[in-house]
Amino acid sequence: MSDIPLEVVADFLSRVPAMSLLRFRCVSKQWRSIIDSPEFIKMHLNRTLHTKSDRKLILRSCYLYSADFDGLDNTNVAHYVKVEHPWKRPEIGTLIVGSCHGILCLDGGVEDKSILLWNPTTRKHFKLPPSKFERSMESFRKRTMVFGFGYDKASEDYKVLRILQSYYMDSEVKVFSMKSKSWRKIANFPYYLKYQSAPGVLVSGSLHWVVTKDPDTFMVNLIGAFDLETEEYRLVPQPDYPKKKSKNFHLNVVALDGSLCGLCNYYDHEYVDVWVMKKYLVNESWTKLFKVAESDTRIKPFHYVMPIAYSWSGRRVYMVQNDKMPLWYDLEKKKVIPTKYHISDPPSYMEHQMCFGSLVQLDGGISGMVERVQDTKEELIEITSCQWASSWFFNQLKLFAINGSATD
């Protein structure tokens, strides 16, 4: 190994899935030092995001489940396994606020009233400190509380946004900084949230919600955004909808492989238009990606489809109908393709979240009991993994050093 430059070793390892890298830490002290370094973690994350590799589908019901998205892309069958996580409360479930850089933001719900950041690959988590409300909860009539989670690229800081809002648009907003490990009160939210439980949708360093300027004009669809860098609010331009139908739909927003996606459910015509903003904040970049009719998926009025991700080839879009039925939409053939999934004790509903495998560390995190138990088991697995790595893997590494590529 000494004849292979360290930069070549690091470059090769940056192409390996995060879960395998955790096992390869036992190969040598040198490998452990490389894999644990902040520079390598950033290199590995950037490559993973750029190549859209090591993607996991996280399914939420009363439990959390995980499936390999790349395997689903090849076989049309998702094999879900139950994921052990710090909160085990099947009676109330765990809410997923969002996903960023392989970190899931989990909401403990009304009983726990706490937020937790968790990396399902490293099994490390950090529980945010509680933050008292400046005013009593009783003063917020018909209150709504939503969260958003994302990354401020300028300050290299992960942030959590909490919005408490009443029916009369009175609000209290706080932001948590992972760097400072503290909450700060910021300017009130200037719009009215249309959906009371919808978390912020992360796109281009901003969190997005469907809003209106006045609760009495509930049928007016606007897209409100919070910039994680400037911590300012703004409205996002929308597509040029057909004039005859511009107010005759329910609007939802989701993230589709890093782009803002608008879902227009025309409840009188029983179909959904899926729009994508290809260049953020550029109105002319809105493009209608496809339309799904009731005849395609048996969609009924007020029901919806949610796009999750493009296939690796980019020719298909994976989506979920009504939090239950997973589907592919073929962009070339313009038709829906049913998919299958295997899961023990299938839940009645399935909320999906895309998550990348990453080694991003949560400095100052609290190692829970789940982590300690699983790490003990993992030490036994690492011994066998290292024996395998010492033969095939080293041969591949040498080929990479010589040719710049390896073989399967």
Higher pLDDT, 70 or 396: 70
The sign one gets for the Cα dihedral 110, 115, 117, 118 is negative
Give the side-chain half-sphere CA count within 13 A for 258: 10
Residues ≥6 apart with Cβ < 8 Å to 140: 164, 165, 166, 170, 172
Task: Give, in degrees to the nearest 5, the angle at Cα 108 between 104 and 112.
Answer: 155
Predicted confidence (pLDDT) per residue in 154-188, tens digit:
999 999 999 998 877 788 999 999 999 999 999 99
Taking the mean position of all CA atoms in its chain, how far away is CA 231?
A: 21
Q: Residue 398 pLDDT > 80, yes or no?
A: no
Predicted confidence (pLDDT) per residue in 99-142, tens digit:
999 999 998 765 556 899 999 999 999 999 998 887 665 655 66
Nearest to 297 by CA among 321, 316, 273, 328: 321
pLDDT of the residue at 371: 36
Angle of helix 29-36 relative to helix 38-51, nearest 10 degrees, comes to 70
Predicted confidence (pLDDT) per residue in 3-33, tens digit:
788 899 999 999 999 999 999 999 889 999 9
298 contacts 282 by C-beta, under 8 angstroms: no
Q: How far is 408 from 404, CA to CA, in rounded Å? A: 14
Q: How far is 221 from 194, CA to CA, in rounded Å? A: 9
383 contacts 23 by C-beta, under 8 angstroms: no
Give the 3-state secondary structure of residue 403: helix
4, with CB counted inside 10 A (0-12, 13-18, 19+), is: middle
Give the 3-state secondary structure of residue 365: coil
The sign one gets for the Cα dihedral 366, 369, 372, 378 is negative
* Tokens (6 digits) for 30: 């040198």
pLDDT of the residue at 216: 74
- Whether the full predicted model's pTM is greater than 0.85, yes or no, is yes
Beta bridge partners of 251: 264
Neighbouring C-beta atoms of residue 246, cutoff 10 Å: 13
45 contacts 359 by C-beta, under 8 angstroms: yes
Q: Residue 408 pLDDT > 60, yes or no?
A: no
Q: How far is 403 from 396, CA to CA, in rounded Å? A: 10
Task: Report which residue type is found at 397.
Answer: L
Which of 208-217, 255-264, 282-291, 363-372 shows the lowest mean pLDDT across its residues?
A: 363-372
Element at 13 (helix H, strand E): helix 6-13
pLDDT of the residue at 369: 29
Beta bridge partners of 149: 160
Report DSSP state, residue 188: P
